[in-house]
C-alpha cells in the first residue's frame, strides 16, 4: 500500500460532516427572475458600471468594466432589463453596488451547442487578454483575477491542480471534477502553454477524483493534445490540506517550501479558464454546494451568478428543522449570512445550513491550557500564547511569535474545547495590521 | 421560508469539535467511577460517607466562589472532579471533617483564589490532599482491611508501603510475606490466578510469579478509597487516553522513570544490591497509578509541549521514588507532583520569556 502524504505539522480531522455524494451530472438551478449582480466579485476595486437603468441587456454582455489591477469584468448572467443599480447588502453585512436584472428575452448561449475554439494557435498575450475579457477570477474568496495572477509570473516550477475540497461539507470541486474532468485537463494544457511549468501535479484526496483524474489524463495523453505527464498525488484527507503552504509541504517537503515558485489552481477555476478560451464564455454561472443537515435535499447545483441564496435553498427543499448556522462558504473560512436575499457571486463555493449537532457546543469556558490548539496549528504556532498577547494589547510580541504566519484556517478554533475565540482575535489583529500598513 | 435574521451570526469557525472542556471533565469523572465502586465494595457502604461529604463540600465551595465572582461555573464539573479525587485519596473511615475541609480548601484556596478553572498553578485535588496529610497525619494513616480479606472490615495497622517504610520487613520481602505481615492473607482468587499463570505462561518462560501480586493488581489490599485496584485504574486510563482527555506522555514518563529507579535502587534497603527492586510491588501499591493517570496530567497544571510533558513526568516519577525511599512518609506521589507543578511554566518554555527579542514586559 502506498503511503499517503500530507503536511507535517498540525491539522485536524473533522467528524460529523454529512457524507452524501453529489449527483452526476450536476443539474442547473432555476434561472433567477431577478439577478442581483455585484460589481465587486473580485479582490480589487469594484468594476465600473457600463449599463443604465431600463436598458435591455443580452446574456453574457459586459455590465461592469474592470477598474485597475485585480479588478475584473462583470457580465450579465441572464438577459433582461436593468431594473436598478443600487447598493446591496453582502452576506457579511458589508455593502456593494449591484446591477439588478429582471429576466426577459431570449438566451444567446443557453441550450445552444457551443463552438469549440482551437486554442493551440493562440498567442500567449491573446489568451491572457481573453481570460481578462471574460472576467475569469479564482472561484473562491478573495477572488483574484486569473489574468493578474498569470501576468505577473516569470517562472513556474510547479503547477498544482488543487482538487482537494477546501473545507469539510464542500462538494463543489468534487462535483465539477466528476462532471468535467476532460475540460479541466484541457485547461491544464492551456496553463502549461501559458506558464511552462517544470512539473504538473493533480492533488486529490478522494478515490473518486483520483479515478476520474487518471481516466481524463490518460485520455488526454492518448489524444493529440500532447500534454506532459501529469502526476496525480493522493494526499491524506486532513484540513487544511488545500492551503498553498500545506499543499506544497505535502508535495515537496518542508525544505523546498520556501524556494519553489508554484501556482495552485482549483478545478472550478480551471474550468472557467477552459470555458473562457475554448467556448468563449464569460463567467456566468458556477457550481455551488447546498449542504448541511438543515437542508432537506443537499445537492451541488450549477447556479447563475446573481441568484439569491434563498432561491437555491428553496430549490433544495428548504430548511429541515431550525438551522443553527447559515453560511456562505465553508465552516472554517466562510461567513455567517443573515440575509437570504444575498446573491451568489463568482466566489460563492457553498451555502450551508448547519444543524445544532453539526455546529456543536458553543458555550465558552476558561482555557485549560490543554495545548490542543498548538498541536492543531498547521503553521506550528501557539495560538493560545498569541491570543494572550493580543488580549493584553501586546501585538508586537504576537507578531514576533509568528502571528503573521497565521492563515486564519480556523483549526485552533475548531479544536479548542473551551471555545476560546482565537480566530476572531487573529482576524481582527490581521485586519488591524493591514490597516496600519495602508496608513503608512 | 424562514428569514435568516434570527440565525446565529458570529466569527468563524462555525463548527466545533465534539469535545468541550465540561465534557472532558465529566468524562474523567465517569472514568473514575469503577475505581470508586471497587472502593465502596471493599470497604462497605459506610465508605460512601466521605465521598459524598467531599463532593458536597466541593460543590458548596464552588457555589460560594460563584457568588463572589458572579460567574456560575458549577456546570463545568471541575469542582466535582476535585471533590471526587480528594475523597478517593482518603483512607476509608476517615473522620468526615477531613474530606470536607480538604475539598473546600482545594476548591476555594487552591483554585478559586487564583482565578478559577484554568488559572490555578497547583493541582486542586492534590493541594487538598496535601492539606489533609499535613493537618491530620494520624487520620490520614488509619487503614481498614477490605472485606475480601477478612469480612469484618476491622482496623488494620498499615499499608504494604507503610510496612516497608517502617522497616518491619527486612528480609524475605516477597509480596506474600509483606502482605501477611500486614494482616492481609492471600485470597483464593490470587492463588488460583497465580497458579494458572505460572502453569500456563511463566513456567514456559522459566519464570515464576510469586503469590500476592494478583491480589495487589485486583485491589485486595489496604489503601485509600480510590487507589486500590490497579487493574481498574489501568482500564480507565485506556479510556481517557483513547478519548484524548489526557496525553500519554506524562503518565508514561512518570511511571517509567519511577519503575526504572525502583528496579535499580529498590533492592538496596533489603540488601539485595542493585537492579533487584520489586517493580510490580512498588507500582501496584500506594497511589502511584491513580496520581499518574488522573492528577499529574491535569492540563491546567502540567506542561503542554511534548518535551515539557516528558520532563514533567520524569520529575514526578523520580521525586516519588526519592520521597518513598528517603521521605518520612510511605507515600510520595502527592508532593512529587505538587513540586513539579511549580516547574510547569519553565518546562513549557525552557528558554524563558523574552529570549526571542521580544520587548520586556511593561
Residue B226's pLDDT band (boundaries 50, 70, 90)?
very high
Residue A222's pLDDT band (boundaries 50, 70, 90)?
low
Which is more confident, B195 or B359? B195
Instruction: Decide if A397 and B359 are in contact by the 8 Å CB cutoff.
Output: yes
Q: Point out the residue among B18, B24, B304 whose CB comes nearest to the CB of A360.
A: B18
Average pLDDT over residues B131-154: 84
Q: Specify the length of chain B in residues.
A: 362
Q: What is the pLDDT of residue B355?
A: 45
The rounded distance, in Å, linking the Cα atoms of A74 and A346 is 10
Q: What average pLDDT does the structure give for chain A?
A: 89
B125 pLDDT higher than 60: yes
Q: What average pLDDT does the structure give for chain B?
A: 88
Instruction: Decide if A423 and B12 are in contact by the 8 Å CB cutoff.
Output: yes
Identify whether the C-beta of residue B281 lies closer than 8 Å to the C-beta of residue B178. yes
Q: DSSP states of A292-345 as a string?
A: STTBSS-EEEEEETT-BHHHHHHHTT-BSS--SEEEES-TTTSEE---TTPBP-
Residue B98's pLDDT band (boundaries 50, 70, 90)?
very high
Q: What is the pLDDT of residue B13?
A: 92
Residues 157-186 of A with CB under 8 A from B: 168
Residue B276's pLDDT band (boundaries 50, 70, 90)?
confident
Condensed to tens digits (0 to 9), the pLDDT of residues B30-55 reads: 999 999 999 999 999 999 999 999 99
Q: Specify the length of chain A in residues.
A: 440
Condensed to tens digits (0 to 9), the pLDDT of residues A50-100 reads: 999 999 999 999 999 999 999 999 999 999 999 999 998 777 667 889 999
Condensed to tens digits (0 to 9), the pLDDT of residues B281-293 reads: 999 999 999 999 9
Condensed to tens digits (0 to 9), the pLDDT of residues A376-394 reads: 999 999 999 999 999 999 9
At B144, is the secondary structure helix, strand, or coil?
strand
Q: What is the pLDDT of residue B356?
A: 47
Residue B360's pLDDT band (boundaries 50, 70, 90)?
very low
Condensed to tens digits (0 to 9), the pLDDT of residues B8-18 reads: 567 889 999 98
Average pLDDT over residues A121-128: 92
Q: How far is B300 from chain A (nearest CA, A)?
A: 5
B225-240 b/e (C-beta count within 10 Å ≥ 16 → b)? bbbbbbbbbeebbeeb
Average pLDDT over residues A115-131: 89
Q: Which residue of A has its CA nearest to B301?
A: A369
Average pLDDT over residues B181-195: 85
Condensed to tens digits (0 to 9), the pLDDT of residues B260-275 reads: 999 999 888 877 889 8
A312 pLDDT higher than 50: yes
A339 pLDDT higher than 90: no
Average pLDDT over residues A407-429: 93
Q: What is the pLDDT of residue B144?
A: 87
Identify whether the C-beta of residue B61 lies closer than 8 Å to the C-beta of residue B69. no
Which is more confident, A100 or B179? A100
Most confident of A147-156, A172-181, B96-105, B140-149: B96-105
Q: What is the pLDDT of residue B9?
A: 63
Average pLDDT over residues B6-31: 86
Percentage of chain A lying above the pLDDT 70 cut: 92
Identify whether the C-beta of residue A338 lies closer than 8 Å to the C-beta of residue A312. no
Condensed to tens digits (0 to 9), the pLDDT of residues A271-281 reads: 999 999 999 99
Q: Which residue of A has its CA nearest to B21?
A: A417
Q: Which residue of A has its CA nearest to B359?
A: A397
Residue A16's pLDDT band (boundaries 50, 70, 90)?
low
A47-67 b/e (C-beta count within 10 Å ≥ 16 → b)? bbbebeeeeebebbebbbebb
Q: What is the pLDDT of residue B327?
A: 85
Is B16 at the interface with chain A, CB within 8 A? Answer: yes
| CB < 8 Å to B117, chain A | 365-366, 368
Amino acid at each position: 500500500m502506498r503511503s499517503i502524504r500530507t503536511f507535517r505539522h498540525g491539522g485536524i480531522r473533522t467528524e460529523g460532516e454529512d457524507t452524501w455524494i453529489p449527483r452526476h451530472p450536476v443539474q442547473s438551478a432555476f434561472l433567477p427572475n431577478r439577478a442581483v449582480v455585484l460589481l465587486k466579485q473580485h479582490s480589487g476595486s469594484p468594476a465600473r458600471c457600463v449599463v443604465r437603468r431600463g436598458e435591455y441587456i443580452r446574456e453574457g454582455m459586459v455590465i461592469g468594466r474592470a477598474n485597475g489591477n485585480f479588478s475584473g469584468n462583470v457580465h450579465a448572467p441572464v438577459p433582461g432589463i436593468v431594473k436598478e443599480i443600487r447598493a446591496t447588502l453582502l452576506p457579511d453585512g458589508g455593502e456593494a453596488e449591484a446591477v439588478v436584472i429582471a429576466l426577459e428575452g431570449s438566451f444567446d448561449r443557453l441550450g445552444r451547442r457551443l463552438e469549440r475554439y482551437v486554442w493551440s494557435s493562440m498567442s500567449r498575450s491573446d489568451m491572457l487578454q481573453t481570460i481578462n475579457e471574460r472576467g475569469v477570477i479564482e472561484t473562491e474568496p478573495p477572488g483574484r483575477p486569473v489574468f493578474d495572477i498569470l501576468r505577473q509570473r516569470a517562472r513556474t516550477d510547479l503547477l498544482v491542480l488543487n482538487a482537494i475540497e477546501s473545507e469539510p461539507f464542500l462538494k463543489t470541486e468534487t462535483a465539477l471534477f466528476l462532471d468535467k474532468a476532460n475540460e479541466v485537463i484541457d485547461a491544464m494544457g492551456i496553463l502549461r502553454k501559458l506558464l511552462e511549468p517544470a512539473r504538473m501535479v493533480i492533488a486529490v484526496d478522494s478515490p473518486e477524483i483520483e479515478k476520474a483524474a487518471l481516466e481524463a489524463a490518460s485520455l488526454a495523453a492518448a489524444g493529440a493534445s500532447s500534454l506532459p505527464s501529469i502526476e496525480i498525488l493522493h494526499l491524506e484527507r486532513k484540513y487544511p490540506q488545500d492551503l498553498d503552504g500545506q499543499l506544497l509541504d505535502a508535495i515537496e517537503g518542508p525544505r523546498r517550501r520556501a524556494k519553489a515558485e508554484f501556482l495552485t489552481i482549483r478545478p472550478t477555476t480551471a474550468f472557467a479558464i477552459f470555458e473562457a478560451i475554448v467556448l468563449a464564455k464569460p463567467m456566468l454561472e458556477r457550481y455551488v454546494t447546498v449542504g448541511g443537515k438543515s437542508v432537506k435535499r443537499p445537492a451541488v447545483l450549477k447556479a447563475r451568478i446573481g441568484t439569491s441564496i434563498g432561491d437555491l435553498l428553496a430549490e433544495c427543499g428548504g430548511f429541515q428543522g431550525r438551522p443553527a448556522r447559515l453560511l456562505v462558504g465553508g465552516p472554517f473560512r466562510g461567513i455567517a449570512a443573515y440575509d437570504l436575499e444575498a446573491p451568489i457571486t463568482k466566489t460563492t463555493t457553498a451555502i450551508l445550513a448547519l444543524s445544532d449537532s453539526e455546529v456543536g457546543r458553543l458555550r465558552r469556558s476558561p482555557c485549560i491550557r490543554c495545548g490542543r490548539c498548538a498541536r492543531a496549528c498547521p503553521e506550528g504556532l501557539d495560538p493560545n500564547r498569541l491570543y494572550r498577547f493580543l488580549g493584553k494589547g501586546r501585538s508586537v510580541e504576537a507578531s514576533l511569535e509568528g502571528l503573521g504566519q497565521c492563515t486564519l484556517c480556523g483549526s485552533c478554533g475548531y479544536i479548542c474545547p473551551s471555545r476560546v475565540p482565537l480566530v476572531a482575535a487573529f482576524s481582527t489583529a490581521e485586519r488591524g495590521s493591514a490597516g496600519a500598513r495602508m496608513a503608512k | 421560508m424562514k428569514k435568516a435574521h434570527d440565525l446565529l451570526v458570529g466569527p468563524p469557525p462555525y463548527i466545533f469539535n465534539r469535545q468541550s472542556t465540561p465534557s472532558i471533565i465529566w468524562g474523567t469523572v465517569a472514568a473514575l467511577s469503577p475505581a470508586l465502586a471497587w472502593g465502596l465494595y471493599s470497604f462497605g457502604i459506610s465508605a460512601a460517607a466521605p465521598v459524598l461529604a467531599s463532593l458536597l463540600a466541593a460543590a458548596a465551595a464552588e457555589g460560594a466562589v460563584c457568588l463572589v465572582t458572579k460567574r456560575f461555573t458549577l456546570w463545568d464539573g471541575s469542582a466535582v472532579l476535585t471533590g471526587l479525587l480528594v475523597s478517593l485519596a482518603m483512607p476509608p473511615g476517615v473522620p468526615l471533617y477531613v474530606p470536607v475541609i480538604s475539598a473546600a480548601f482545594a476548591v476555594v484556596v487552591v483554585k478559586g483564589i487564583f482565578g478559577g478553572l484554568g488559572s490555578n498553578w497547583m493541582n486542586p485535588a492534590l493541594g487538598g490532599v496535601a492539606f489533609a496529610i499535613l493537618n491530620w497525619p494520624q487520620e490520614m494513616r488509619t487503614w481498614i482491611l477490605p472485606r475480601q480479606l477478612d469480612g469484618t472490615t476491622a482496623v488494620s495497622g498499615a499499608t504494604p508501603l507503610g510496612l516497608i517504610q517502617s522497616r518491619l520487613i527486612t528480609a524475605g520481602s516477597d509480596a506474600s510475606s509483606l502482605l501477611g505481615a500486614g494482616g492481609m492473607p492471600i485470597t483464593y482468587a490470587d492463588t488460583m490466578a497465580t497458579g494458572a499463570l505460572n502453569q500456563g505462561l511463566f513456567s514456559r518462560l522459566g519464570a515464576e510469579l510469586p503469590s500476592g501480586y494478583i491480589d495487589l493488581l485486583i485491589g485486595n489490599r489496604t489503601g485509600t478509597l480510590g487507589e486500590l485496584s490497579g487493574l481498574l485504574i489501568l482500564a480507565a486510563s485506556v479510556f481517557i487516553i483513547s478519548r484524548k482527555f489526557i496525553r500519554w506522555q506524562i503518565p508514561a514518563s512518570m511511571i517509567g522513570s519511577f519503575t526504572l529507579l525502583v528496579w535499580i535502587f529498590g533492592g538496596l534497603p533489603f540488601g539485595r544490591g542493585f537492579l533487584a527492586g520489586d517493580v510490580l510491588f512498588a507500582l501496584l501499591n500506594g497511589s502511584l497509578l491513580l496520581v499518574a493517570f488522573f492528577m499529574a496530567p491535569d492540563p491546567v497544571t502540567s506542561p503542554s509541549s511534548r518535551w515539557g510533558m516528558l520532563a514533567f513526568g520524569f520529575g514526578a516519577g523520580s521525586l516519588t521514588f526519592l520521597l518513598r525511599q528517603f521521605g518520612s512518609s510511605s507515600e510520595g506521589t502527592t508532593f512529587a507532583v505538587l513540586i513539579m507543578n511549580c516547574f510547569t511554566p519553565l518546562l513549557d518554555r525552557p528558554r524563558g520569556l523574552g529570549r526571542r527579542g521580544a520587548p520586556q514586559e511593561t
